[in-house]
Amino acid sequence: MRTRALIFVLPAFWILSGREARAERIPVEDFAHFAAFSSMTLSPDGRTVAYVQNLKGLQEIVLRDLDQEKPIRLEMPASRVPWVPQATRIAWLNSQRLIFSLAEGGFSAVDRDGQRLRGLTGSYRDRNLSDDTEIQSTGLIHFFRGSDEESVLMTEYPSREAQYQGEWRVLNAPNVIRMHTRTGAWSRVEKNPGTIELWIPDSAGTLRVALEVKGSIARTVYRKDAQSPWAPLPGMDWNDPMLRPLALSSDDRTLYVNRKTPKGHWAVYPYDLAEHSFGEPVIAHEHFDIVPNDWRSVANGILVQGLVIARDRSRELLGAHFLTEFPRTVWFDPGLDQAQAALNSALPGRINTIISLSDNRQRLLVQSWSSADPGTYYLFDTEAKTLAKLLARMPWIDPAKMAESSAVRLRARDGTLLQAYLTLPPGRGGKNLPLVALVHGGPHTRDVWGYDPDVQFLANRGYAVLQVNYRGSVGFGDAFQKMARREVGGKVQHDITDGVRWAVQQGIADGRRLAIMGVSFGGYSALMGLALEPELYRCGINISGVTDWIELIKDKAEMFPRSFGFNVTLVGDPVKDADLLRSISPVHLVDRMRAPVLIIHGRDDPAVPFPQARGLVNALEKAGKPHEFMSKYNEQHGLLDFRNRVEMYQRIDAFLAKHLPADGGTPKSEK
């Protein structure tokens, strides 16, 4: 493979104009429903696509013969929790057999004709197997293409250590097992010493590289073959700069690693395993991380940061997906680079992501999408030069009625450059608009340009939407991410405020008609906005937000012991820094809040436990502050059940209409 260092310098702005005609009022059900079709993948021979179908509460795996148009539907067993689209994993073992996992049930395998279905792990594992073991697994490590194509390497955790808590698994240090997908027979090929977080196999399936973790530091260990001992690689030991191994090259001589550039941005570097030396970056960017070290973003159901590795025996590095202001792809394979150019010409003004390809690279499965379009699947035949439409992910969404998002840049009060997304409501012009600051969670995540139902719902109701990637957001360099340490209640919140004030100064937003809303850390930020800027916002919406840092860090330490050090570094120590944590916890700041707040929380939330919401509600009631409260049983971090999501949007709709009417009327709360 010919690799090359790529440096991209991109424009600071890409401004998209608003629609001319004012949008019709779209039912909340259209925004509440997850994609009807998702996770589509193409078989190695290019003849069959498999995907998840989610219609009317029925979840199915569908296998569709592209030449005969014969769909085969497999109804999935009931799950103990609502289906999480992002948790779906579906892949081809070979052209005849598929392996998949939905929600927390476990992995199963089935032939392309829908026959010989076998439950392999978790609650789906067939109970008639002789060992009667419920194997806990969260990931696939290797497919044995060209040899034992019916087996796979998987992670495995002893059942007694795999306690299931909502949508979170308390799982660390995976073993590796080899699973036969027809018989369900398995054997452990590598037992974890208790410190390995990640395993990487070579092209034959032998585990050759591993990431060993000790507290907050890590090192990469390597062995020449299955009989050799593990040893740290020079330049990747405990005291060396942090990096993360990504993949082995097709000839097993080069290890691709995630490593910081001299300017502090995460880039992909080659490491020569014989010479024990790093080469020039395979791909790097002057302003953005290629693969952030601790978070990879998803947009429109697609993982938009990571390497693209050929799934055939060559395991060639074909390209990389990464994010700047917008999702990008670079191809090292000339044929795929040409195919990408042809797709962009045929489908202009869109992100056209090659998500799967046949082994001979003649047939390519493409998802074409934008910020106003959840996406459509196409089949591109590179020899016949044909592009055939397969399915729209959300066929009820008309992109012409949706709003488009723009990438903008602005300066925080201390001069820090911030990147943000601005969405204008269709047909209402671009000036003097009511605005909702929609804050992302994390804080170590980021907003991404793509279709977002929350954004589209708010825009459809007449609100401009501003999403600020505040300091601490990932993807903008290591220094920018570390700027959030001990500032989650300070400069992070100032960044959001400064973004809102920028929109007002630009004349985009009406300074008298502003609201703030978010989920998880975004919900915390909504509450902090109301407390720190009581004169700025008319109302706020907190969904699953943190309200008491001391209690949350204690809860996290009990559930995820390894998270304690991270939380202390980011936020503070619940004992040593108790005064600081109280001063940035909304439950202790209700006296400062004047604007009404809507609180929405799942009662079985393992990430931000329900007592966080209850404590805030109690404090608001005691202080006589205006608020509304919605809670739901059998919901975790955010609401996943369709009926609950419909009610959530209805409550938000009514709340905003009452306190921040988009058409400029007097809020009912002031009449």
Q: Which domains does the chain have, with CATH numbers?
A: 37-188 (2.40.128), 399-548+586-670 (3.40.50.1820), 552-584 (no CATH)
Burial label, 499 (beta-carbon count in 10 A; 0-12, 13-18, 19+): buried
Bridge partners of residue 353, in order along the sequence: 367
Q: In the 8-state DSSP scheme, what is residue 400?
A: G
Bridge partners of residue 164, in order along the sequence: 169
Q: How many Å apart are CA 157 and CA 136, to the nearest integer?
A: 5
Backbone angles phi, psi at 552, to 5 degrees: -65, -45
Angle at CA 410, nearest 5°, toward 405 and 412? 135
Closest CA to 353 of 326, 384, 386: 326
Copy the structure tokens of residue 562: 């390894």
Q: How many Å apart are CA 61 and CA 54, to the nearest integer?
A: 9
Q: How many Å apart are CA 181 and CA 106, to the nearest integer?
A: 13
Instruction: Point out the residues of the chain with pLDDT beneath 70.
Output: 1-21, 75-87, 103-105, 128-132, 159-171, 558-562, 665-671
Q: Which amino acid is at 597?
A: V
Copy the structure tokens of residue 543: 């969904």
Bridge partners of residue 186, in order along the sequence: 179
Backbone angles phi, psi at 219, to 5 degrees: -145, 160
Four-point Cα dihedral 121, 122, 126, 130, nearest 10: 80
Burial label, 634 (beta-carbon count in 10 A; 0-12, 13-18, 19+): middle
Q: What is the pTM (predicted TM-score) of this model?
A: 0.92
pLDDT at residue number 65: 93
pLDDT at residue number 163: 44
Q: What is the 3-state secondary structure (H, E, C) of 213-280?
A: EECCEEEEEECCCCCCCCEECCCCCCCCCCEEEEEECCCCCEEEEEEECCCCCEEEEEEECCCCEECC
CB atoms within 10 A of CB 160: 7
pLDDT at residue number 286: 94
